[in-house]
Amino acid sequence: MTIKARLTSLKRQHTELEEEIRDRQAGLSEDRLDIWTLKRKKLALKEQIEALRQQA
């Protein structure tokens, strides 16, 4: 997978997690631990995106 393709994939995953977090915080889920876990995954994706951008 090229860097550009990997970046696109990571950005898509990041956006999907952002939407899921927003939905859960809007009242669709009361599980704070679940939301926290999603936020950690989102942060990890952001870090991967930044690392790839520096390589490009």
Decide if pLDDT at 24 tops 90: no
The C-alpha atoms of residue 41 and residue 7 are separated, in whole angstroms, by 16
Read off φ and ψ for residue 42, nearest 5 degrees.
-65, -45
Give the model's pLDDT for residue 54.
93
Q: What is the pLDDT of residue 48?
A: 97
| Total of domains in the chain | 1
What is the distance of C-alpha 15 from the center of its chain? 6
Long-range contacts of 2-6 (CB under 8 A, 24+ apart): 3/52, 3/55, 3/56, 4/56, 6/52
Return the sign of the alpha-carbon dihedral for residues 53, 11, 1, 47.
Answer: positive
pTM exceeds 0.85: no
Confidence category of residue 28, pLDDT binned at 50, 70, 90: low
**Per-residue confidence (pLDDT) for residue 29, from 0 to 100:** 62
What does the DSSP 8-state code read for residue 27? I
Instruction: Please determine, for residue 47, whether its predicted confidence score (pLDDT) is greater than 90.
Output: yes
For residues 22-34, give the mean pLDDT. 81
**What residue numbers bound the domain in which 30 lies?**
3-55
